[in-house]
Amino acid sequence: SNSREDIIQSRKNLPAFAVKNKLLQVISENQVTIVIGETGSGKTTQLAQYIYESGYTSARDGKNNNKIIGCTQPRRVAAMSVAKRVSEEMGCKLGEEVGYAIRFEDRTKKGKTVIKYMTEGVLLSELLTDSLLDKYSCIIMDEAHERSVNTDILLGLFKKLCAQRRDLKLIITSATMNADKFSTFFGNAPQFTIPGRTFPVDVFFSKSISFDYVDTAVRQVLTIHLQQMSNNNKNDGDILVFMTGQEDIEATCSLLEEKLGLLDNPPPLDVYPIYSTLPADVQKKIFRSKSDSRRKVVVATNIAETSLTVDGIKYVIDTGLVKLKVFNPKIGMDSLQVIPISAANAQQRSGRAGRTGPGVSYRLYTEKSFSEQMYPMPIPEIQRANLSNVLLMLKFLKVDNVSKFPFLDPPPRELLSCSLYYLWSIGAIDHLGSLTSLGHDMCKFPLEPSLSKLILLSCSQQYHCSDEVLSIVAMLSVPPVYYRPKERAKEADQSREKFSIGGSDHLTLLNIYTQWERQIKKSRGNSEALTDWCNRNFFHKKSLMRARDIRNQLVFNLQKNKYNILKSRNDDDIKKCLCAAFFNQSARLTKVNMSGYQGIEYHHLRHTYMSLYLHPTSVLNDSTSLAPTFVVYHELILTSKEYMNCVTSVD
């Protein structure tokens, strides 16, 4: 069903197509337009094409290149998959007329690409070097209602930019929530609503609070699915389950497969996980045309709430939870936390069941918690996440007094001061709040401040280990490299041990990377040999490939900026460098349980009341050696306890 004609026909069937001319009219008459439409109406895939077709890319930039259309996405996966889809619709190769750019990966061609999908982060970093965004004639900020920190910063910067570049068109697409806010922010910019058709959705709440949402969701899927048997075995619609992240998605999928396996001859059910770090080819499978007899169940993160449309969904199962970055004022840093969604999100999720026909939504929470405990609207990230990174960028853009920045919703004062304090404590700004030369240099890398600092330190004569540090940073910038299939967990763990470097997860990552490079040399372009090596050692090849790309980009970046790439004299160079860059992220051993390694506990070195634990995947959990007294860690993950992820002993 993917022939050109089919694609052209399905474009014409989208709600956006029916109002194309009216919409283009509004856009031509206004500098800023807010576009509102149901999910699946064609905002993401069609808008940029309409604008392209009506000639907005024939204007020229200063260097006589055609100006292009940029479309931002809050998520990397969306930028990639949408660019792929739109290139198919336009009948061109991905990376030519239609391309995408995400951090460390640019698949656009200068002089050729006319529509560029990118993450909001990419557009922000382009602003650092081209403050007028000269190469664009039009920017579409897609899914702006998601309100990532980057969305809000871009909106603030656009306020001034629109005055400086009267020829620039700005289009903001949004779900209904927040649309008024955007209009007001841009001087009552017009709102254009794409009329959509939606079907009624019956909503059911749980009677009681469930403690194991994975188990409850699986039971609900099976209840829906097995009704099919009494229904002449016809699939009456697909199922979408909202989970919080990779771990509970995988748990749900495997529990589901397990329970299906115990049944006697169940009707066929195809199970698809979907989360942001899942390889793109696996994700693509969920778009395959549905067959009438096989039902599919898509187990997804929040990504399926608005940014990804799967056709044919009739049932939604909503756990009512989402995993978000939340600022932890105790340590002045973010941690990922699973928290309840807002009522607006709950409505949005339920709505996903009513796109192609009447649907049903099962909410795995009580009506009472919906009406009494959920916030009506989600809290924008700018009011709950660490802002160090963007404040650094704003300082670079000479926005000196951040409290005067035009925020759509101002961040709480404590959050601003905590984030500024952090920048000061790592030496990025001085006592007066001005960017230091270190801070200035840190902006040259598309990385969080602590990793930029790690790289900069490693290039110095004192630490002398940038060659190794680049590999470590690259490995820290990709999705986990290990996989651990349940049925071969023991084998996977043994293989992992082979690569372990005692006392340091960072050095272990370095070791894996070094061996990987060695394999690449050995394989002389034989891709199968590499796949084989990865499979044998339980590594995700995709992650390792990406780590290599990122490292190459970083090397290029260092050379361009004339920094030295220095090989370490010994592991101590690396450990000292880690220590110097991560002194804010360090902990001291406080408790060792007599029964062995199980009960060891650390306390944050500065926020001493704070208990921290080694993440179960850390090589420091090795029961044969003593727990180190001092450690530094890369990040905290809060689940049942506060875990330090990627840890190195610095005794």
Please report how close the Cβ of residue 42 comes to ligand ADP at its closest, in angstroms. 4
Question: Does residue number 583 form part of the binding site for ligand ADP (CB under 6 A)?
Answer: no
Choose between 7 and 610: whose C-beta lies nearer to ligand ADP: 7
Q: What is the DSSP string of 479-534?
A: S-SB---GGGHHHHHHHHHHH--TTBHHHHHHHHHHHHHHHHHHHTT-HHHHHHHH
Burial 368-404 (b: 16+ CB within 10 A, else e): eebeeebeeebebbbbbbbbbbbbbbbbbbebeebee
Stretch that binds Mg ion, among 41-49, 86-94, 212-220, 489-497 (CB under 5 A): 41-49
Non-local CB neighbours of 301 within 8 Å, separated by 6+ positions: 242, 243, 244, 245, 249, 274, 275, 276, 323
The helix (run of H) or strand (run of E) holding residue 239 is strand 238-242
CB of 154 to ligand ADP, least distance (A): 18
Question: What are the backbone dihedrals phi and psi of residue 38, each rounded to the nearest 5 degrees, phi first?
Answer: -60, 155
Positive or negative: CA dihedral 380, 383, 384, 386: positive
Q: Which of 33, 44, 73, 148 binds ligand ADP (CB under 6 A)?
A: 44
585 binds Mg ion (CB under 5 A): no
Residues 220 and 360: their CA atoms lie apart, in Å, by: 12
Q: Which does 85 bind (CB under 5 to 8 A by kind): ligand ADP, Mg ion, none?
A: ligand ADP
Task: Choose which of 32, 34, 36, 39 interacts with ligand ADP (CB under 6 A).
Answer: 39
Instruction: Select the span of 42-50, 361-369, 400-408, 537-545 touching Mg ion (CB under 5 A).
Output: 42-50
φ, ψ at 380 (rounded to 5°): -60, 145
Told to check if 37 binds ligand ADP by CB under 6 A, we report: yes
Size of the site for Mg ion (CB under 5 A): 2
Least distance from C-beta 104 to ligand ADP, angstroms? 22
Size of the site for ligand ADP (CB under 6 A): 15
Q: Judged by CB, which is closer to Mg ion: 48, or 224?
A: 48
97 phi/psi in degrees, rounded to 5? -60, -40
Pick from 33, 44, 235, 350: which binds Mg ion (CB under 5 A)? 44
Q: How buried is residue 11: exposed, middle or buried, by Cβ count under 10 Å (0-12/13-18/19+)?
A: middle
Shortest spacing between CB 325 and ligand ADP, in angstroms: 24
Residue number, 44 or 350, with CB nearest to Mg ion: 44
Nearer residue to ligand ADP within complex by CB, 214 or 304: 304
CB nearer Mg ion, residue 303 or residue 435: 303
Q: Which is nearer to ligand ADP, 42 or 74 (CB)?
A: 42
Q: Tell me, what DSSP letter sits at residue 398?
A: T
Buried b (16+ CB within 10 A) or exposed e, 621-639: eeeeeebbeebbbbbbeee
Distance between first and last Cα of the chain: 61
Residues 311-340 that bind ligand ADP (CB under 6 A): 311
Q: How far is the CB of 41 from Mg ion (least distance, A)?
A: 8
| Region of 39-47, 254-262, 265-273, 591-599 interacting with ligand ADP (CB under 6 A) | 39-47
Nearer to Mg ion, 43 or 169 (CB): 43
d(CA 319, CA 511): 39
Token output for 521: 């040399």
Q: Which does 482 bind (CB under 5 to 8 A by kind): ligand ADP, Mg ion, none?
A: none
Tell how strand 68-73 and strand 136-141 pair up: parallel
Contact 234, 292 (CB under 8 A): yes
In angstroms, give the least distance from the CB of 173 to ligand ADP.
7
Is the CB of 84 or the CB of 506 nearer to ligand ADP?
84
- Considering only 39-47, 161-169, 214-222, 550-558, which stretch makes contact with Mg ion by CB under 5 A? 39-47
With CB cut-offs between 5 and 8 Å by kind, which of Mg ion, ligand ADP, none does residue 42 bind? ligand ADP
**Contact of 78 with 303, CB cutoff 8 Å:** yes
Q: Which does 503 bind (CB under 5 to 8 A by kind): ligand ADP, Mg ion, none?
A: none
Q: Rule CB under 6 A: which of 50-109 touch ligand ADP?
A: 81, 85
Taking CB atoms, the residue at the shortest distance from Mg ion is 44
**Could you give the CA distance from residue 511 to residue 464 in angstroms, rounded to a whole number?**
18
- Check residue 309 for interaction with ligand ADP (CB under 6 A): yes
| Residue among 340, 382, 603, 632 nearest 504 (CA) | 632
The answer to whether residues 544 and 481 touch, using CB atoms and an 8 Å cutoff, is yes
Kindly identify the residues of this chain, within the stretch 260-299, that bind ligand ADP according to CB under 6 A.
287
Q: Which CB atom, from 33 or from 543, has the smaller least distance to Mg ion?
A: 33
Decide if 353 contacts 305 (C-beta within 8 A).
no
Q: For residue 174, state whether it binds ligand ADP (rule: CB under 6 A).
A: no
* Closest approach of Mg ion to the CB of residue 56, in Å: 20
CB of 46 to ligand ADP, least distance (A): 6
* Nearest alpha carbon to residue 564 among 478, 473, 477, 463: 463
301 binds, among ligand ADP, Mg ion, none (CB under 5 to 8 A by kind): none
Q: CB-wise, 292 or 487, nearer to ligand ADP?
A: 292
The entry of Mg ion, ligand ADP, none near residue 311 (CB within 5 to 8 angstroms by kind) is ligand ADP
CB of 26 to ligand ADP, least distance (A): 17
* Beta carbon of residue 264, minimum distance to Mg ion (angstroms, whole number): 42
113 binds, among Mg ion, ligand ADP, none (CB under 5 to 8 A by kind): none
CB of 89 to ligand ADP, least distance (A): 9
Nearest distance in Å: CB 115, ligand ADP? 13
Phi/psi-derived region of residue 525, left when phi > 0, alpha when psi is between -120 and 50, beta in every other case: left
Whose Cβ is closer to Mg ion: residue 43's or residue 575's?
43
Rounded to an integer, what distance in angstroms lies between the CA atom of residue 353 and that of residue 224?
Answer: 14
Report, in Å, the least distance between residue 194 CB and ligand ADP: 7
Neighbours of 491 (CB within 10 A): 13
Structure tokens at 288: 């395959």
Closer residue to ligand ADP (CB): 353 or 428: 353
DSSP code for 628:
P
- Structure tokens, 214: 């994975």
Going by C-beta distance under 8 Å and a sequence separation of 6 or more, which residues neighbour residue 311? 40, 290, 355, 356
Distance of closest approach, residue 285 Cβ to Mg ion, in angstroms: 20
Residue 17 interacts with, from ligand ADP, Mg ion, none (CB under 5-8 Å by kind): none
**For binding to Mg ion (CB under 5 A), which residues are involved?**
43-44
**For binding to ligand ADP (CB under 6 A), which residues are involved?**
14, 37, 39-46, 81, 85, 287, 309, 311
